[in-house]
């Protein structure tokens, strides 16, 4: 846990008191290996980088991969274990406005579960080679799901606040 | 927890021993209200039903909805609290073959987190009106995320084992 994750709220942001996190328990089933050790180096969204990354599944679960090679895309769920959980209103660095946590894909959320839709390139034993993820190296893995275009692909979807964002994103390197 | 959830494994299925589920803790942030009290009544996938359903967010988190009305589609994560977690190889009822848990969208998985991409129809206070979900009434909510077509929509995705499934699905009512 770096200090950086607990920088004070920005103007317009708001913290709430959370209940104890014990309604249900998670198991870490592996780790995601990426080139990014620090969030200031990581891509701002999964499509921003074409870097080839690796999922290392705990060998205990390797039989759970049977038939998965027939999928072209996967949904990965992972645990954003370095994020605070209590910031209910947040102001993205490159936006003049503050938004509710559920309108954002921020790692800071009551249940810090990250989600990425990735290309599956290969499976070798307990290792999956993937592309299009933006998490830090060593991020704990929670789940792997096959992506079904029939129910998961909504190319017509829009996020109005994001389209209307006042400031365009700066070039990569100056991270928000 | 109904007995039904612990029916014996089918031929070709396999159970493994799981570690204790305590690597991380979840908070339930609301409940999903649907017409389905029993999994035998529920749709087999989120697109099978057009029923209008409701997300009841705990009022503690209502400010987290700010700006969310500008999204047309949401990703909901929820806790499949009536499912066993240790069945690593599973045979869907309407398939002759057994598959690994990570090749399936079964509620039975090491971390039983369900995911649905839903249409957002309206938000009124702490209640969200949605469409295209297949979970049981009262399912605990874990997260709401905006759906970004840019990174989440992969209409070209394929799941080979599902396309080649030997038996076509029977009419609704005889559930697998």
pLDDT 10s digits, A4-17: 456 788 888 899 89
Question: How far, in Å, CA of A74 to CA of B159, rounded?
Answer: 10
- At residue B138, φ and ψ (nearest 5 deg) are 90, 5
Percent of chain A with pLDDT over 70: 90
Percent of chain A with pLDDT over 90: 65
Tokens matching residue B96 = 């002759």
Q: Is B59 on the interface with A (CB under 8 A)?
A: no
Tokens matching residue A94 = 């490159």
Mean pLDDT across B85-101: 90
Structure-token match 């066993």, residue found: B84
Q: Is B70 on the interface with A (CB under 8 A)?
A: yes
- At residue A69, φ and ψ (nearest 5 deg) are -60, -15
Residues of B in contact with A104 (CB under 8 A): 146
Q: B47 or B165, which is more confident?
A: B47
User: What is the torsional sign of CA B136, B120, A81, A23?
Assistant: negative
**Nearest-neighbour CA in chain B from A176: distance (Å):** 18
Task: Determine the residue of chain B that is closest to A147 in CA distance.
Answer: B157
Question: How far, in Å, CA of A169 to CA of A162, rounded?
Answer: 11
Split at pLDDT 50, 70, 90, the class of A52 is: very high
Percent of chain B with pLDDT over 90: 65
Residues of A in contact with B109 (CB under 8 A): 143
**Nearest-neighbour CA in chain B from A168: distance (Å):** 16
The shares of helix, strand and coil residues in chain A, as percent rounded to the nearest 5, are: 15, 30, 55
Rg over CA atoms, chain B: 17
Residues of B in contact with A162 (CB under 8 A): 146, 148
Concatenated DSSP letters of B87-153: EEEE--TT-SS-EEGGGS--S-SSS-EEEEEEEEEEEETTEEEEE---PPTTEEEEEEEE--HHHH-
Strand partners of residue A123? A128
Q: State the ipTM, two decimals.
A: 0.90
For residue A89, give the nearest of B63, B132, B160 by CB distance: B63
Give the per-residue pLDDT at B6: 67
pLDDT at B174 over 50: no
Strand partners of residue A78? A114, A141
**Nearest-neighbour CA in chain B from A137: distance (Å):** 18
**Nearest-neighbour CA in chain A from B160: distance (Å):** 4
Question: How far, in Å, CA of B54 to CA of B127, rounded?
Answer: 7
Cross-chain residue pair A153–B148, CB shorter than 8 Å: no
Residues in chain A: 176
Residues B68 and B144: beta-carbon distance below 8 Å: yes
pLDDT digits 0-9 by tens, B57-71: 999 999 999 999 999
Residues of A in contact with B89 (CB under 8 A): 63-64, 66
Question: How far, in Å, CA of B8 to CA of A131, rounded?
Answer: 38
pLDDT at A2 over 90: no
pLDDT digits 0-9 by tens, B121-173: 999 999 999 999 999 999 999 999 999 999 999 999 999 888 876 455 555 54
Give the per-residue pLDDT at B169: 58
**Nearest-neighbour CA in chain A from B159: distance (Å):** 4
Residues of A in contact with B103 (CB under 8 A): 64-68, 70-71, 146
Cross-chain residue pair A103–B71, CB shorter than 8 Å: yes
Concatenated DSSP letters of A20-70: PS-SEEE---EEEE-S-SSTTTS-SSGGG---EEEEEE-GGGGGGGTTGGG
pLDDT digits 0-9 by tens, A62-106: 999 999 999 999 999 999 988 889 999 999 887 889 999 999 999
Task: Determine the residue of chain A that is closest to B133 in CA distance.
Answer: A151
Q: A51 or B45, which is more confident?
A: A51
Rg over CA atoms, chain A: 17
Average pLDDT, chain A: 89
Give the A:B interface size as CB pairs under 8 Å: 274
pLDDT at A1 over 70: no
Q: Which of A157-166, B1-10, B138-147 has the lowest mean pLDDT?
A: B1-10
Cross-chain residue pair A24–B25, CB shorter than 8 Å: yes
Q: Is A165 on the interface with B (CB under 8 A)?
A: no
Comparing C-alpha atoms, which of A137, A31, A122 is closest to residue A74?
A122
Give the per-residue pLDDT at B175: 40
Task: Determine the residue of chain A that is closest to B151 in CA distance.
Answer: A47
pLDDT at A172 over 60: no
Question: How far, in Å, CA of B166 to CA of A105, rounded?
Answer: 39
Cross-chain residue pair B146–A105, CB shorter than 8 Å: yes
DSSP for residue A134: -
Question: How far, in Å, CA of B30 to CA of B23, rounded?
Answer: 22
pLDDT at A136 over 50: yes
Comparing C-alpha atoms, which of A45, A52, A50, A28 is closest to residue A144?
A28
Judged by DSSP in three states, A128 sits in: strand
Strand partners of residue A122? A129
């Amino acid at each position: 846990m770096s200090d950086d994750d607990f920088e004070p709220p920005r103007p317009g942001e708001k913290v709430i008191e959370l209940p104890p996190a014990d309604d249900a328990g998670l198991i870490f089933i592996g780790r995601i290996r990426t080139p990014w050790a620090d969030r200031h180096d990581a891509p701002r969204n999964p499509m921003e980088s074409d870097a080839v990354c690796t999922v290392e599944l705990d060998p205990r679960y390797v039989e759970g991969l049977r038939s998965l090679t027939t999928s072209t895309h996967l949904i990965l769920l992972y645990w954003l274990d370095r994020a605070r959980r209590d910031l209910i209103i947040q102001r993205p660095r490159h936006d003049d406005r503050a938004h509710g946590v559920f309108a954002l894909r921020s790692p800071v959320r009551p249940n810090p579960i990250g989600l990425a839709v990735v290309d599956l390139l290969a499976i070798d034993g307990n290792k999956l080679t993937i592309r299009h993820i933006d998490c830090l190296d060593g991020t704990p893995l929670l789940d792997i799901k096959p992506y079904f275009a029939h129910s998961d692909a909504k190319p017509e979807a829009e996020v109005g606040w994001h389209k209307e964002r006042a400031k365009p994103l700066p070039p990569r390197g100056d991270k928000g």
